[in-house]
Amino acid sequence: MSVEVRIPTILRTFTGGAKAVHGDGTTLEQVLDDIEARNPGLKDRIVESEALRRFVNVYVNDEDVRFSGGLNAPTADGDVVVVLPAVAGG
Amino acid sequence: MGLIVRMYRSSRASAHSLTAVLKIAREHVDAMIAHAREDHPDEACGVIVGPEGSDVPTRLVRMINADRSPTFFRFDPQEQFELYKEMSTAGEEIVVVYHSHTSTEAYPSRTDIALAAEPQAHYVLVSTAESGAAEGPISVRSYRIVDGVVTEEEIDVTE
């Protein structure tokens, strides 16, 4: 068991095209660090200055992590993390 | 209903035929225009989704502009997540991302280009600058935006 992380199209260049990767950790940050080891460059597209990037949305199960601790949001085996780039502009 | 829709092509694009094209149903064009007019002077935004890998837009979904602004738009993160779940279940993806410009032309702004994160999508801009919420000329243009590069494409409207 591990945490499944769903990767948006634009970041699949970091996962060899994979739509989802798996990582271990009891917080979102640990999971991201774990998958970064096998998918270098990915974390930098999600995290900036030790916080989530402003225009990236991350959900653990059904919860937007901005309301559940950000990078410290708890994760457990079997959880699903979804990364969605914000759809925004001017 | 006397709708005048101007679908421009850039002079560079019209000089030689474009390889890229957005094929889209008339009803979807009309729905984007109606949405842009309703939300004027704020920017309207939404998507047309379709079967994954098909490049065929089949289902238009209006999205809330969480910023409710005449100069900026952002999908509401919770609503975007609901859309993601629907698309995952149905095997769909975003084929068109549309939004309106309410005081400038239907061309991607610097912010649009910087934040574009759906490389498979057609980015449709609807400008209500000329007529506002009223009936009158309106422009609709389509682009690809990949790695900061904007490429305009033709719009092929199907009845």
The CA distance from B34 to the nearest CA of chain A, in Å, is 19
CATH homologous superfamily of domain A3-85?
A: Beta-grasp domain (3.10.20.30)
Is pLDDT of B8 > 60?
no
Q: Measured between alpha carbons, how far is A72 from B43 in angstroms, rounded to an integer?
A: 34
What are the start-end ranges of the E strands in chain A?
3-6, 20-23, 47-48, 51-52, 56-60, 63-64, 80-85, 88-89
Q: Measured between alpha carbons, how far is B152 from B159 in angstroms, rounded to an integer?
A: 22
Residue range B90-115: mean pLDDT, rounded: 97
* CB–CB contact A87 B63 (8 Å): yes
Residue B11 confidence (pLDDT) = 44
Segment among A55-59, B18-22, B100-104, B109-113 with least mean pLDDT: B18-22
Residue B5 confidence (pLDDT) = 72
Q: What does the pLDDT look like over B106-148, one tens digit per residue? A: 999 999 999 999 999 999 999 999 999 999 999 999 999 999 9
ipTM above 0.90, yes or no: yes
Is pLDDT of B4 > 70?
no
Is pLDDT of B2 > 80?
no
* CB–CB contact B119 A57 (8 Å): no
- Strand B92-101 and strand A47-48: the pairing is unpaired
Instruction: Say which residues have a Cβ less than 8 Å from residue A34's Cβ, sequence separation at least 6.
Output: A23, A24, A25
What is the amino acid identity at position B58? T
pTM for the model stands at 0.92
Reading chain A (90 residues) residue by residue, the pLDDT tens digits are 799 999 999 999 999 999 999 999 999 999 999 999 999 999 999 999 999 999 999 999 999 999 999 999 999 999 999 999 999 999
Cβ-based contacts of A61 with chain B (< 8 Å):
none
Residue of B nearest to A19 (CA): B88
Residue B19 confidence (pLDDT) = 66
Q: Where do runs of H (alpha helix) occur along chain A?
A: 28-38
Q: Measured between alpha carbons, how far is A62 from A67 in angstroms, rounded to an integer?
A: 11
Q: How confident is the model at residue B20 (pLDDT cuts 50, 70, 90)?
A: confident
Q: Please name each of the domains of chain B with its CATH number.
A: 5-158 (3.40.140.10)
Chain centre to alpha carbon of residue A18: 14
Q: What does the pLDDT look like over B24-70, one tens digit per residue? A: 999 999 999 999 999 999 999 999 999 999 999 999 999 999 999 99
CA nearest to A81, candidates A41, A11, A44, A27: A27
Look at phi and psi of residue A16 and say left if phi exceeds 0, alpha if psi is from -120 to 50, else beta: left
- Strand B5-6 and strand B138-146: the pairing is parallel
Domain ranges, ordered by start, for chain A = 3-85
* CB–CB contact B93 A9 (8 Å): yes
The chain B residues in contact with chain A (CB within 8 A) are 45, 47, 63, 67, 71-75, 77-78, 80-81, 84, 93-94, 97, 99, 108-112, 115-120
The CA distance from A90 to the nearest CA of chain B, in Å, is 4
